[in-house]
Amino acid sequence: METVARSEPPAGVETSAPKDTTLIYRQSGWTRLTHWLWALALFFMLLSGLQIFNARPQLYIGKESGFGYNNTILEIGAENTDNGTRGFTEIFGHRFDTTGVLGWSGPPGQETPRAFPAWATIPSYYDLGTARVVHFFFAWVLSATLLIWLVASLVNGHIRRDLAPRVEDLRKLPRDVVDHAKLRFHHTREYNTLQKMAYGGVLFVLLPLMIITGLAMSPSMNSVLPWLNEILGGRQTARTIHFTVMVLLVLFFIIHMLMILAAGPFNELRSIITGWYRTDPPAKHDEPTERSA
């Protein structure tokens, strides 16, 4: 994700506007690298994961599943009707017609029954083996990068200094909610409360939960961590949690992109690509402050 700004660039980095106090070096090279590695890994994991889901497009709660159980909470499929084959999505017993997108999709006259359409999966054709290889490879990329980031951030104080909410942050929460609702953004060195909560939720809850539930679904890991499935309520429940976390991460991505567009895409993208970020000009009554990296 992001690292809070440093007022001075690292050794060897030059700027064409050294006297511009609103232009600061906000993102370190390591932060930018991990950000793009996470984005790349999650992209391939999402599309390959949808391909894997297509092999069994149902979600259950419990340790077992099948015709003898009534624990299905999500099903995507196709059915024959008087109007021809139609795609459907059923959630907690409520069925919706999703023909053309979910359940039954493809070029006109060449539709096929598949939960997620070809354009949303890797590979686009049905190939469960390739999807598993891609999914597991990028899962290890994500896990390794997250672990290294976590250790480094604990050592250098980034988590304590920049991500951990303080009492004053919680006091500012109502104002931050109102500002975001009005699309009124403050470009400062510090994360606002909503950013801390969102980034912290992704980094310390959603991503670890994604990794843990992924391990719980792996038969080879059952011999190593036999208690993991029990804690999560069984392999089918772990699969459902895994899918739910995926949906939450997609929602986070959409909101993240919308906030970037609303806050100023050039400034935000420049920050995560080059490290440089333009802050709001200080008010005349504000006293200059120093903040260590």
Contact indicator for 189, 4 with CB cutoff of 8 Å: yes
The pLDDT, as a whole number, for residue 144 is 94
Note the pTM of the prediction, 2 decimals.
Answer: 0.82
For residue range 194-213, what is the model confidence (pLDDT) as tens digits?
988 999 999 999 999 999 99
In this predicted structure, what is the pLDDT of residue 56? 93
User: What per-residue confidence (pLDDT) applies to 77?
Assistant: 95
Amino acid at 125: Y
> So what's the pLDDT on residue 5?
39
Matching CATH number, 23-57+126-278, of 1.20.950.20, 3.40.190.10, 3.40.50.300, 1.10.10.1100 = 1.20.950.20
Provide the H-helix boundaries in 157-284.
Answer: 158, 167-181, 193-201, 207-216, 219-222, 226-232, 235-263, 265-274
- Residue 19: the pLDDT is 58
pLDDT at residue number 32: 86
**Domain definitions of the chain by residue range:** 23-57+126-278, 71-114
DSSP assignment, residue 151?
H
Q: Where are the alpha helices (DSSP H) in 157-192?
A: 158, 167-181
Residue ranges, the chain, pLDDT below 50: 1-8, 14-18, 284-293
Instruction: With H, G, I as helix, E, B as strand and everything else as coil, classify residue 42.
Output: helix
Q: Give the Cα separation of 44 and 36 in Å (integer).
A: 12
Of 251, 249, 226, 229, the closest CA to residue 239 belongs to 229
Q: What integer pLDDT is reported at residue 4 of this predicted model?
A: 42
